[in-house]
Amino acid sequence: MEIYWVLGIPLTGGIFLALWGNRGNAPEINAGFSFLTLVAAAILTARIVAGGPMVVGGEGYFFIDSFNVFLVALTAFVAFTTSLFSRPYMRIEKEHGRLTDKRLRLYHASYQVFIAAMLLALTTNNMGILWVSMEAATLATVLLVSLYRTPASLEAAWKYFILCGVGIAQALFGTILLYFAAEKVLGAGGSALLWTHLNAVKTQLEPTVLQLAFVFLLVGYGTKVGLAPLHNWLPDAHAEGPTPVSAVLSGLLLNVALYAVMRSKVLVDGALGNDMAGSLMMGFGLLSVVVAAFLIKRQTDVKRMFAYSSIEHMGLVTFAFGMGGPVASFAGLLHMTMHSLTKSAIFFAVGHATQHAGTQLMDGIRGLIRTNPTIGWGLMLGTIAILGVPPFGVFASEFLIITTAMHEHPWATPLLLTALGVAFASIFGKVQPMVFGETEATRLPHQPALAPVFMHLGLVLMLGLFIPPYLAAWYRQAAQLLGG
């Protein structure tokens, strides 16, 4: 039952805000709907933790287990904090004349629909509907990326639409192939694409077809994860869209796309009985880590730099899931959580910093610690956290991933360590003057809404020091579902 609330609330929110989003309190309504979604998601999570996986509705339209309920909770949480952040942020954007009431209405409505689409992608049991909702999530954000209507933002949105569209068309072909294999075992009809049914018969599925299907699914959904060399849309979309959109794209959409890949991987592993899927994911993941790390060095735009950092971290997670096994899958899930929380916190801080400086170029942002200590510390701590400095949680997950890699695939370790080192040096070297450099800028006139930043970073810190036993058990359960 809770599942209908989880999906229904954001959808209602989207419709409501599309119709009445011109009101002055639309940002509060947006936050309110996000809060209700979070409450529903929390209840659903509690239910799954207590009662184990469940299949809901008709022939089993929704399927919720420890793996996806963890992502549902994360998605609802970050969506809520982002809506809190976007409240004052978008107001100031409007005061600066970059947005109008009409565009804000579009923004709020699309935001809710986007959240609904992601939650549907996470909870649906049907691999076809998974595809449909991934595409819906893209469509909901295309007009958000171009919200400022600048030439660069339009170009970014166009690239986002076309590249993700072509990518997702590959995934559709993969889904067709999957159905083709499933139909032989399960018979024609709607139930042949249900993941639970497929999972039950995965050893009987035709291996050759599934192998081909996985390649298409990986390339298709991988485009949305931002895996190199399919990552071209990602930095542009992150840099040119409004900051709250960058935060949810980076913190949530990439996770959901990777979730789709993982669901397919479980099936393919069962059918093939070898680690073809894992090796492919390791290859793509490693390439993304290395390519992104070296591109970070060349960035001048702060949001673009952190977008590349997202590619790097998603690559790392993909690599961890590719290795498989209980430790690596556990580390991958942990890293997914840490990255979502930290990266959205960084985008919140960066949003305020760029808004104040009036530019996204890093050379134009200096001495944040003087103009506003809260933003300065938020950005600095966030950066330290994402770079994997202990005691933050990213350190724990990266440590686990790298030690597992040393153990199982020693050849990959130098590449990973070099890439992480390069990323560390370049990001730290660029953020340091932004925070501590000399400046003549005046103090920020208003108090920034940075409670979400410290909320996220506090969680990351806590998880780095101590993972509560029930949470650890939960991660372990989820890792097991991934074939660990």
- The nearer residue to other proteins, 35 or 148, going by C-beta atoms, is 148
Output the smallest distance, CB 100 to other proteins, in A.
13
Q: Confirm if 242 and 144 have CB atoms less than 8 A apart.
A: yes
Smaller CB separation from other proteins, 138 or 354: 138
Residue 462 C-beta: closest distance to other proteins, Å: 37
308 or 395: CB nearest other proteins: 308
d(CA 374, CA 349): 9
Between 177 and 401, CB nearer to other proteins: 177
CB of 31 to other proteins, least distance (A): 25
Nearer to other proteins, 240 or 312 (CB): 240
Q: Identify which of residues 39 and 154 has a Cβ nearer to other proteins in the complex.
A: 154
Smallest gap, in angstroms, from Cβ of residue 180 to other proteins?
A: 5
Give min distance, CB of 132 to other proteins, in A: 3
Find the shortest distance in angstroms from Cβ 254 to other proteins: 19
Q: Is 47 exposed, middle or buried (0-12, 13-18, 19+ CB in 10 A)?
A: middle
- The least CB distance from residue 360 to other proteins, in Å, is 13
If the CB atoms of residues 93 and 240 are measured against other proteins, the closer one turns out to be: 240
CB 402 → other proteins: shortest distance, Å?
28
Cβ distance to other proteins smaller for residue 66 or 250: 250
**Nearer of residues 205 and 353 to other proteins, judged by Cβ:** 205
| Phi, psi for residue 201 in degrees, rounded to 5 | -115, 20
| Contact call for residues 319 and 282 (beta carbons, < 8 A) | yes
Tell which residue, 71, 402, 409, 106, has the closest CA to residue 252. Answer: 71
Torsion of CA 283, 287, 288, 291, to 10 degrees: 180
Question: Of 296, 331, 241, 333, which Cα lies nearest the Cα of 419?
Answer: 296
Distance (Å) of CA 210 to CA 67, 94, 215, 411 = 22, 50, 9, 29
Q: Could you tell me the smallest distance in angstroms from the CB atom of residue 178 to other proteins?
A: 10
Q: How far is the CB of 347 from other proteins (least distance, A)?
A: 19
Length, in residues, of the chain: 484
- Name the residues that contact other proteins, by CB under 8 A: 126, 128-129, 131-133, 135-136, 139, 142-143, 146, 149-152, 154-159, 161-162, 165-166, 169, 172-173, 175-177, 179-180, 183-184, 188-190, 192-193, 206, 208-209, 212, 236, 240, 295, 298
407 vs 402: CA distance, rounded Å: 9
Rounded to a whole number of angstroms, the minimum distance from the CB of residue 353 to other proteins is 22
CB of 142 to other proteins, least distance (A): 6
Identify which of residues 161 and 454 has a Cβ nearer to other proteins in the complex. 161
Q: Closer CB to other proteins, residue 24 or residue 189?
A: 189
The CA distance from 118 to 371, in Å, is: 37
- Give the residue with the Cβ less far from other proteins, 69 or 142: 142
